[in-house]
């Protein structure tokens, strides 16, 4: 097993498969992009789940209301204190996503306690951060940026977000607002489409241009395991220590 992925799994392994007990009702489901659904859930017992920006939960489905048939982890995209839990879920034809693809408002699912303490955003931990995201890996950063905006936190945040085409940009309007309002410097780079903005995968040149003080920043990575490995290798080659105090990982898939 790759050492980077082994380290990531060791950091989260004790949290996976946490008990799921809380019923949540689906209140909205819309396609954010051609392949990604934005799904909002609200507690069916009136609770407001307490979580930190950057954390995830496990969503579970029960066909008969007794046992959980399938459950999968998803990063929370809403800000702490919100009335609903928001997620951005790629419809990849998996065991749970095949069910979610047909889901409709009113359906009941189950949501676990928040997990992922190693990836949570803590104001003041470092006044400078670099967020690197790919595809649906933007989800935990949406929670972080909404939290930063809501609470008026003044920190130096740079987000570099990699997707295939402009149609694959999740929360495009919100990201533009974050950038315009000074919540974060937001850079979108497209890997399979020509446009006036950044093109190609996240690389050393892009990081140096938008975060030249990279060694002074805490870096948060969210994307596939391959993305986490390649970005960690790139960052360490640029002199960023690989420990969890400098590079924080969240992995999907």
Is the per-residue pLDDT at 65 higher than 90? no
Tell me the average pLDDT across 73-100.
96
Q: Which helix (H) or strand (E) holds 21?
A: strand 20-31
Contact between residue 119 and residue 220 where contact means Cβ atoms under 8 Å apart: yes
Tell me the average pLDDT across 84-110.
96
Nearest to 221, CA basis, from 90, 54, 6: 54
Nearest to 15, CA basis, from 137, 87, 118: 118
CA atoms of 230 and 223, how far apart (whole Å):
11
Give the whole-number percent of the chain exceeding pLDDT 90: 84
**Does the predicted model carry a pTM greater than 0.75?**
yes
Residue 8 pLDDT grade (very low, low, confident, very high; cuts 50, 70, 90): low
**CA-based radius of gyration for the chain:** 18
Q: Where are the domains of the chain?
A: 12-117, 118-252
Three-state SS for 59? Answer: strand
Distances (CA, A) of 120 to 52, 117, 125, 149: 6, 5, 11, 16
Give 164-213 pLDDT, tens digit per residue: 999 999 999 999 999 999 999 999 999 999 999 999 999 999 999 999 99
Is the per-residue pLDDT at 116 higher than 90? yes
CA atoms of 80 and 150, how far apart (whole Å):
10
CA atoms of 146 and 85, how far apart (whole Å):
13
> What CATH fold (topology level) applies to the domain 118-252?
Rossmann fold (3.40.50)
Residue 9: per-residue pLDDT: 45
Tell me the average pLDDT across 231-252.
94
Residue 4 pLDDT grade (very low, low, confident, very high; cuts 50, 70, 90): low
On average, the pLDDT of the chain sits at 92
Three-state SS for 243? Answer: coil
Give 19-49 pLDDT, tens digit per residue: 667 899 999 999 999 999 999 999 998 888 8
Give all strands (DSSP E) within 79-212, no chain letters.
85-90, 108-112, 128-134, 156-163, 185-190, 198-199
CA atoms of 77 and 146, how far apart (whole Å):
9
Tell me the average pLDDT across 128-145.
98
> What CATH fold (topology level) applies to the domain 12-117?
Elongation Factor Tu (Ef-tu); domain 3 (2.40.30)
Mention every residue, 6+ apart, whose C-beta is less than 8 A from residue 112: 18, 19, 20, 21, 22, 57, 58, 59, 60, 71
Distances (CA, A) of 43 to 22, 27, 51, 134: 8, 10, 14, 29
CA atoms of 249 and 131, how far apart (whole Å):
10
Q: Could you count the other beta carbons within 10 Å of the beta carbon of residue 239? A: 8
């Amino acid at each position: 097993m790759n050492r980077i992925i082994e380290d990531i799994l060791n950091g989260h392994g004790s949290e996976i498969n946490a008990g799921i007990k809380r019923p949540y009702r689906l209140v909205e489901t819309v396609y954010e992009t051609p392949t990604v659904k934005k799904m909002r859930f609200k507690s069916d017992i009136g609770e407001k789940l307490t979580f930190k920006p950057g954390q995830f939960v496990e969503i579970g489905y029960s066909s008969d209301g007794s046992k959980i048939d399938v459950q999968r982890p998803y990063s929370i995209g809403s800000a702490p204190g919100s009335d609903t839990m928001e997620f951005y879920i790629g419809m990849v034809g998996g065991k749970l996503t095949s069910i979610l693809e047909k889901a409709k408002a009113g359906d009941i699912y189950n949501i676990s306690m928040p997990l992922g303490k190693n990836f949570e955003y803590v104001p003041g931990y470092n006044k400078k951060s670099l967020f690197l995201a790919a595809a649906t890996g933007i989800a935990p950063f949406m929670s972080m940026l909404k939290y930063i905006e809501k609470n008026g936190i003044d920190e130096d945040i740079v987000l570099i977000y990699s997707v295939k085409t402009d149609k694959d940009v999740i929360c495009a309007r919100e990201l533009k607002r974050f950038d315009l309002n000074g919540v974060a410097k937001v850079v979108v780079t497209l890997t399979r489409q020509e446009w006036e903005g950044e093109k190609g995968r996240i690389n050393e040149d892009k990081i140096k241009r938008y975060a030249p003080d990279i060694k002074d920043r805490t870096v948060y990575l969210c994307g596939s395991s391959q993305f986490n490995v390649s970005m960690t290798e790139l960052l360490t080659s640029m002199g960023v220590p690989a420990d969890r105090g400098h590079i924080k990982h969240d992995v999907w898939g």
